[in-house]
Structure 1
Amino acid sequence: MAAMRSHRRTPSRKSAWRALSAAALAGTLALLTACGSDSPAASWNDGKNEGGGQQQQQQEDSGPKQGGTVTSPAADAKDVPASTPIAFTLENASNPTVELKSASGESVKGAMQEDGKSWLPEGALDYGTKYTATVNATGADGKPTSNSSSFTTMAKPSKVVRVSSFLGENQVVGVGMPIIVQFGRAVPKDYRDDVQARLSVQSTPEQEGIWHWISPTEVHYRPKTYWQSGTKISYKMQTGGLPMGDGYYGRADVSVEIKIGPSFIMTVDNKTKKMTVTKDGKVIKTIPVSLGKPSTPSSSGTMVVIEKQRKTVFDTMDDPNPANRYRTPIDFAQRLTWSGQFIHAAPWSEGKQGRVNVSHGCVNVSEAMGGWLFGQTRIGDVITVKNTEEKLENGNGWTDWNMSWDQYVKGSAIPYNG
């Protein structure tokens, strides 16, 4: 699987120091909730409160020093966060590799980071456990070198943040679907770069993308252009044991795999009162519509399907304006905004569709076309509405595509280097 450019970064020395300091002072952290449900891919890794001693193995000094030295965690450090990377320096050496083992000799899997100066375990370490990190390298004289340093992880924290993915394992979604990660507690601004650095996305085929903080409790990821049809995506929130501010830590790591379905794009033009539907770039249907009347206009902008309901009831009886109060059974409802704009079947307006706007902001289609669309679409399919009296407000729905790429990258906690 090709690696997607997700603009990860290795935590800085400041971040590593902050993580260790936070652990020493507070001794406690968190992981994820999304849209009221945990990701089915979540694996809660509770640590073991086992003690650990200290051990440090040094290379004998025979001439100029050469080899690698672990710089973080510090030798014999205690209360190290379970999310810790292994940082090291090289002196008169090259081709470094890192080994990490528990006191029982169990090896920990991980990977070298892009900076070539740090190594990250593939999952949160066990709590209250002693580990030994070894940096192997080739010395300037061509001989192998090996230097080790030990540390002990913190006890299992009592203050944790749950992290969750909106999407479930192996779900098939539309080409406009953002990856949505939610946090059970607000992430302080000063910690968002460290959290974002632990969020990774891989796709086949490879497509450029970036994370965008929607709020302190929610971050989204989208590619530069719509996902390609058939793309396979694997993403991971490596937040278990990660310091997340105010003495909180990520509860666990979460991994999810999804797939992108066919490119299904709906374009509605108020000037023509028609919806044009394309599938994988080919026009397959033109549908008459009725949009919002002047007092309740539809929003112009790019949205995606948020949820689908075969049958529901629209109830606005609590609206302060008596003229907008109604309770109506609805077929084939597809939500576009949090404020209540949908695509749905409206048999009562079929004589107006294609000619006059009579809705309360929704995209009205016939009963037959409502059923047809409902059978075609997926969560994350794209709809663009044009030439209405009102602009779509960002945040009113999954409006990731209502922003330009330049606007979107401004929401990243890590500077974009594309």
Structure 2
Amino acid sequence: MNHVAKRARAGSTAVLTWAGLFTVLAVLTGCTGGTPFFGDDRSPGDAIRIVPKDGAENVGADSRLAVTVPDGRLERVKVTRTEDAEHQEVPGRIADDGRSWAPREGGYRLGLAGKYSVEAVAVDGDGHRSARSTTFTTLVPEDRFIGYFKPENRSTVGTGMIVSFDFNRPVTHRAAVEKAIRITTEPRVEVVGHWFGKDRLDFRPASYWQPGTKVTVDVGLRDVEGAPGVYGSQRKKVTFTVGRSQTSVVDAREHTMEVRRDGEVVSTVPITAGAAKTTSYNGKMVVSELHEVTRMNGDTVGFGGEYDIKDVPHAIRLTKSGTFLHGNYWEDPETFGSENTSHGCIGLRDVKGGSSDTPAGWFFERTLVGDVVEVVNSTDRTVAPDNGLGGWNLGWPQWKAGSALR
């Protein structure tokens, strides 16, 4: 798979919320650049139908929430509301015939000013699994703005974690909003904000976090005027802890990935990167999601019908535009370490269904959200700093220049 077709890469913005570590997730995406979540409530040929549709905004409180399959059965469904980096699962049940899921409580109302994620896995009549994930956001009153942000409260993250806010409305009073978000650390380290346009604000230190650092994000946006007549509605404290250091360097020319843990090389893994016409981005990318199984569909990212793999194992998202490091069971094992064949993603040898005994399974089980994967020696350009959590590709003076408080 690949990052988005080059023509679909422009204007990337942040993923609205932190997806976290779920047991089994499904993402309708392609291994490419560009935005993978758009369009109708299902892609062509998608067996899992979800309402509200993927990417829907300003969804009303009384809107229908449902998951259905025309045939086969639903294996698992998880619906989560994310608000202020807190996750709350929506109670629901799969019908006795396995064809639908609905909230357990009758007359369930969606919460306003929230982001919902829906993850579903279905099995068809031949026993083949298919996965899908969608997101939608609910209505925010017109005179209010909120910021969807990550990482999750009380999470443990890698040393490359960037605190990222995506605002539901354009912010014109950037200094006031940035000043209202206070980040403190133990031990103390300077943390500076950087604006990407009018609706995204990221925070990071000059270099990767030290393992063991405790970080507190004090969101004091309530009643702060973000734009004329539009005021914030959030007041929240979020904490997270920086775990062990793990950084991985993918050499696209040598077809290897060197994994370093706390400065020591623990493994050199054979990989396959982007092919000559669909190269992988260079640069530092930060893990933002981990999925034990996901779907990758070329239709969603500009590759037409080149591929549609419904059960990609051990998928680790590196960019918003669709670059993943993932398990690959369909290539000849001799490909890994010798040839670049993907549409831009980084492939590790795996088996159908995934296994902890494969290179992909080994790496997946040792990865945290916030870990850094750096690609070198690709013929592609460096990944944009706002494509996912790509801010480490800016030097410290450039980063600080993007603050509204400087």
TM-score under structure 2 length normalisation? 0.62
- 2:70 corresponds to which residue? none
8 A Cα contact 1:274 1:289, kept in partner? yes
Structure 1 Cα separation of the partners of residues 258 and 83 of structure 2 = 36
8 A Cα contact 1:315 1:327, kept in partner? yes
Count of matched residue pairs: 267
2:135 is aligned with 1:162: no
Structure 2 Cα separation of the partners of residues 252 and 342 of structure 1 = 32
2:402 is aligned with 1:404: no
Q: Which moved more, 1:310-319 or 1:255-264?
A: 310-319
Matches within 5 A, 1:4-403: 34=17, 37-40=82-85, 159-188=143-172, 191-317=173-299, 321=303, 324-349=306-331, 350-367=333-350, 368-391=358-381, 392-403=383-394
Distance 1:163 1:317, change over 3 A: closer
8 A Cα contact 1:193 1:413, kept in partner? yes
Distance 1:265 1:319, change over 3 A: closer
Structure 2 Cα separation of the partners of residues 164 and 342 of structure 1 = 22
8 A Cα contact 1:212 1:410, kept in partner? yes
1:137-185 per-position Cα deviation (integer Å, ceiling 9, x unaligned): xxxxxxxxxxxxxxxxxxxx98222234322221111111101123221
* Structure with bigger gyration radius: 1
Structure 2 Cα separation of the partners of residues 41 and 335 of structure 1 = 21
8 A Cα contact 2:182 2:217, kept in partner? yes
**Amino acid of the structure 2 residue aligned with 1:263:** S
Distance 1:318 1:180, change over 3 A: closer
1:187-218 per-position Cα deviation (integer Å, ceiling 9, x unaligned): 11xx1111111211111111222001123122
Distance 1:318 1:225, change over 3 A: closer
Gaps of 5+ in 2: 1-15, 19-80, 88-140, 351-357
SS in 2 for 1:324: coil
SS in 1 for 2:397: helix
**Amino acid of the structure 2 residue aligned with 1:266:** S
8 A Cα contact 1:163 1:251, kept in partner? no
1:6-52 per-position Cα deviation (integer Å, ceiling 9, x unaligned): xxxxxxxxxxxxxxxxxxxxxxxxxxx7468312569xxxxxxxxxx
Structure 2 Cα separation of the partners of residues 194 and 288 of structure 1 = 48
SS in 2 for 1:401: helix
Structure 1 Cα separation of the partners of residues 147 and 251 of structure 2 = 39
Structure of higher RCO (CA pairs closer than 8 Å, 6+ residues apart) = 2
**Amino acid of the structure 1 residue aligned with 2:329:** P
Alignment RMSD, CA only? 2.1
Distance 1:182 1:254, change over 3 A: farther
C-alpha displacement of 1:323? 7.0
Identity %: 30
**Amino acid of the structure 2 residue aligned with 1:347:** Y
C-alpha displacement of 1:326? 3.5
Distance 1:408 1:270, change over 3 A: same
1:285-340 per-position Cα deviation (integer Å, ceiling 9, x unaligned): 11011111001101111001111110112111356555734335210000112222
1:58-97 per-position Cα deviation (integer Å, ceiling 9, x unaligned): xxxxxxxxxxxxxxxxxxxxxxxxxxxxxxxxxxxxxxxx
1:77-121 per-position Cα deviation (integer Å, ceiling 9, x unaligned): xxxxxxxxxxxxxxxxxxxxxxxxxxxxxxxxxxxxxxxxxxxxx
Distance 1:322 1:34, change over 3 A: closer
SS in 1 for 2:203: strand
Gaps of 5+ in 1: 1-32, 43-156
**Amino acid of the structure 1 residue aligned with 2:156:** V
8 A Cα contact 1:41 1:255, kept in partner? no
Structure 1 Cα separation of the partners of residues 302 and 337 of structure 2 = 30
8 A Cα contact 1:317 1:327, kept in partner? no
SS in 2 for 1:361: coil
Structure 2 Cα separation of the partners of residues 234 and 214 of structure 1 = 22
8 A Cα contact 2:85 2:148, kept in partner? no
8 A Cα contact 1:39 1:167, kept in partner? no
